[in-house]
């Protein structure tokens, strides 16, 4: 088994920390690891596989001796450094939205479209967290009974925004419980004990960019431009774990039993569905897990061919770091990573 030289760009961030954990837990075949961030973190030390590794400032030279670079430092950093890294022969797996809809960049969820990786030209995009868990749950059903329309409402944890947002929820929750006034820095309003139907910027069509990512990315990953999709994305005062209420209109009738049977066999999916004992997916127990949890599967009473379901996953793992590492593992398995000298 070969070992690969790996870099994490944004190693000090929320997803960066999860990258380190996932690489360790999965015993990723690493010859070396470079931890990269901004100049603010240069010199800081982080532990990887019981070794103290110094964080370095990201610069154009950072990728000269790197086979696989995992990016999670925002779109601006990706837009600048990914092409430089790709130029020097590094495979970039980018967690930002910078290149996701670029026709020359594969957008990958390994359980759904691993074959698309082959078309990469140095950069592979990791999809939006909410999109990943939705397509893992829906694609196996779509293959059997083509989906015509999806209506989804999301309940998204603050860790998706980054470390500053996690701190903001913690601080505000204490302030509220102590009877103190709160101040909002990261979000436009208080997030503690509140809900914000605004994730990313508003677009001209009055959807948010997050909602539109779910529309466009789902179609690209599933190779299904014909599916009609409408999303409402809501930030909720939860640290980790995104939840989704999904209503799907299929081409033909499908029973909840058939859907459950298909999803029981589906890679990456775990059915948690026994209403009689209040068993259904929840974000708290899902945090730290790799699976996409599906429950509350029922006939959508408003549609002859409809199903409703509730889908939960750890947004930092399957929604970000884990999916990116699975892409790298898939490439290694197929011997698609070129190693430099």
Give the binding site for ligand A2P (CB under 6 A). 9-14, 16, 37-38, 40-41, 58, 73-74, 77, 162-164
Question: In this structure, what token pair is assigned to residue 245?
Answer: 């209420």
> Could you tell me the smallest distance in angstroms from the CB atom of residue 335 to ligand A2P?
30
Q: Whose Cβ is closer to ligand A2P: residue 3's or residue 76's? A: 76
Rounded to a whole number of angstroms, the minimum distance from the CB of residue 74 to ligand A2P is 6
Minimum CB distance to ligand A2P, residue 157 (Å) = 13
Given the complex with ligand A2P, which of 168 and 249 has the nearer CB atom?
Answer: 168
31: CB partners within 8 A, 6+ apart: 3, 4, 5
How far apart CA 169 and CA 239 sit, in angstroms, is 8
What does the radius of gyration of the chain's CA atoms come to, in whole angstroms? 20
Residues 6+ apart with CB under 8 A from 89: 122, 338, 340
Q: How far is the CB of 236 from ligand A2P (least distance, A)?
A: 18
Q: Minimum distance between the CB of residue 12 and ligand A2P, rounded to whole angstroms?
A: 4
CB nearer to ligand A2P: pick between 122 and 160: 160
The DSSP bridge pattern shows strands 306-313 and 292-299 to be: antiparallel
Is 230 buried (19+), middle (13-18) or exposed (0-12) by CB count in 10 A?
middle
Residues carrying an active site annotation: 129, 242
Residue 34's nearest CA partner among 2, 12, 15, 18 is 12
Contact status, residue 273 vs residue 296, Cβ threshold 8 Å: yes
Q: Which is nearer to ligand A2P, 71 or 280 (CB)?
A: 71
- Cite the DSSP H helix spans in the chain: 14-25, 74-87, 110-113, 129-144, 163-177, 209-222, 256-265, 283-286, 322-333
Give the nearest residue (CB) to ligand A2P.
Answer: 13
* Closest CB to ligand A2P among residues 220, 242: 242
Q: Which is nearer to ligand A2P, 126 or 139 (CB)?
A: 126
C-alpha to C-alpha distances, 113 to 105, 109, 132, 238, nearest whole angstrom: 13, 6, 11, 30
152: tokens are 């989804």
Minimum distance between the CB of residue 111 and ligand A2P, rounded to whole angstroms? 25
Reported as type and span, the H/E element at residue 309 is strand 306-313
Structure tokens, 246: 């999904």
**Residue 256 and residue 262: Cα distance in Å, rounded?**
10
Cβ neighbours of 333 (radius 10 Å): 11
């Amino acid at each position: 088994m070969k070992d690969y030289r790996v870099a994490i760009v944004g190693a000090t961030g929320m997803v960066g920390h999860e990258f380190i954990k996932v690489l360790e837990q999965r015993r990723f075949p690493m010859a070396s690891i470079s931890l990269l961030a901004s100049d603010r973190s240069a010199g800081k030390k982080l532990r990887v596989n019981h070794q103290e590794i110094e964080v370095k400032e990201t610069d154009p030279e950072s990728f000269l001796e790197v086979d696989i670079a995992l990016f999670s430092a925002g779109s601006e950093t990706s837009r600048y450094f990914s092409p430089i890294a790709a130029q020097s022969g590094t495979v970039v797996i980018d967690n930002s939205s910078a290149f996701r809809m670029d026709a020359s960049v594969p957008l990958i969820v390994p359980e759904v479209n691993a074959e698309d990786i082959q078309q990469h030209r140095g950069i592979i995009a990791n999809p939006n967290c909410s999109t990943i868990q939705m397509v893992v749950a829906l694609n196996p059903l779509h293959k059997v009974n083509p989906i015509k329309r999806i209506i989804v409402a999301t309940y998204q944890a603050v860790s998706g925004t980054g470390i500053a947002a996690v701190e903001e929820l913690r601080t505000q929750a204490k302030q509220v419980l102590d009877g103190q006034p709160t101040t909002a820095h990261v979000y436009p309003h208080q997030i503690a004990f509140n809900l914000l139907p605004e994730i990313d910027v508003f677009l001209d069509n009055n959807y948010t960019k997050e909602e539109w990512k779910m529309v466009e990315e789902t179609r690209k990953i599933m190779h299904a431009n014909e599916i009609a999709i409408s999303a409402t994305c809501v930030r909720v005062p939860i640290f980790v774990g995104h939840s989704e209420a999904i209503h799907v209109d299929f081409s033909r009738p499908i029973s909840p039993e058939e859907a459950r049977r298909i999803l029981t066999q589906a890679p990456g999916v775990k059915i948690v569905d026994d209403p009689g004992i209040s068993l259904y997916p929840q974000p708290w127990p899902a945090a730290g897990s790799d699976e996409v949890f599906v429950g509350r599967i029922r006939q959508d009473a408003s549609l002859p061919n409809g199903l409703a379901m509730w889908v939960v996953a750890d947004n930092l793992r399957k929604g970000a770091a884990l999916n990116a590492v699975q892409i790298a593992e898939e490439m290694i398995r197929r011997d698609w990573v070129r190693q430099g000298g």
